[in-house]
Structure 1
Amino acid sequence: MHKIEASIILDKESPLSTAKANNGIIELDAGNELAVYIIACSKSLSSIRSSMDKARLSVALLDASYLDSITGEDHSKSAYIEMLVENSIIRVQSIYDRVLIFTNRILDLGISNESINHNLLTTNENAIKFGLERKLKAINKACSDYRFIRNTVIHHDRYTEEQLNYLTLIIDADQLSKQAGGKQFIDSNILSEITHAYLNTKKEELGKYLDGIENSLFELYDVILPVYYHYKDKLRAK
């Protein structure tokens, strides 16, 4: 955890500190611009935290034992393998989208979430003034290795990595052959070993990739926290 999470989400001036539950509804007293600003920053930062947690969980699920526990005789493991790999990549890549939204909130730019993009923020005068564009570019670079794969998954509904294609194809063929009364293409124990090895490799690969994103993210946090205090002071002075 980075100190920014406690500094913003647990900000003593936050309306969260006086939140009330009324008839099953959470009520917040955000009656001034400072309160609205704190809540907006808190929500967007919490979204990054949630995205990181989901990405970690998705990577953790790339586990052979978990795969064995959710597959049955009527379902091919290939579909589950593809689902787990695709989900982990999409989760990891979604982090940067939330970083851009958070930066927009910190700078109080008022840009809608739908309009935010990398070029818009990295060329923004305020982002440049506070040195945020360099940190954003670093996070973007950390995400670049899998950006093409992410687009392939989303737009073509298929993770096209060659090894995964071979693995899922042989699993499908093996299952179809057994259902048709034919022989196995590869011994089940050997195929299981290959599957386990692939999942462990992919799990380690994505875990390291996620660590790199988190390191770049923390560097942004170090620079952006003083900006948060700066904008709070401006709003408090109004």
Structure 2
Amino acid sequence: MESQMSSPEITELAEAMIQVQQALSPALKDAENTFTNSRYATLHSVMNACRDALIKHGVWLTQYPVSVEANQLGLVTKIVHAETGQWQASLLTMPLPKNDPQGYGSAMTYARRYGLSALIGIVTENDDDGELASQQGWQHNTGFQPRNHRENPAAPQQKSVPEGTGTDAVNLPRLDGVQYRHGTANDGKQCVLATGDTHSKKAFLRKAGFRWDGTRKVWWRYADAA
């Protein structure tokens, strides 16, 4: 098991990782956990969120198992700066759910997903409209406050923005897999929320004036934004 978690110098690696993290997109929650009735980002989604940025900025990623205590899995996630050889690593240990190949493989996938997310700094993006609609009492200084009709009978539910009609729709990009909803900001102004397949459309959303709220994992903008 490795005791050293980085090379003596990591300045160039850190500079490269700053560029990587500036280019990162949230990992899309692309699978459903039927036991908890929730969605999560698979290893495939997490890798897709960072692979291109790592390659572009000359950072090599590797993950491999190491020996730890009995009935536990140890996984090292390591990034190496190709030009200088500077590196940094993290070690994740977790109990094996079953002491057989299937249990080992399941634990390995889980560990790779979380080890990669933690070392690179990857977050997940909510793609579930129902989760957004169920939020209650949320206020954020730079965000919006969706109002739920159960809290205030007079408050309207979130409604889809009619495609191609109304002042809101004029400036909204038509993107496959992306839906728009009305919300209300904590300053009382109307907002538009973009939900659905926003992960691959973030460049178009930014161009249309949308902002990414990392706390609530959703794209939004004021309804009257040009």
TM-score under structure 1 normalisation? 0.26
Q: Which structure has more helix as a fraction of its residues?
A: 1
Q: If each structure's strand is expressed as a fraction of its own residues, which one has the higher value?
A: 2
TM-score by length of 2: 0.27
Query: Over alpha carbons, which structure has the higher Rg?
Result: 1
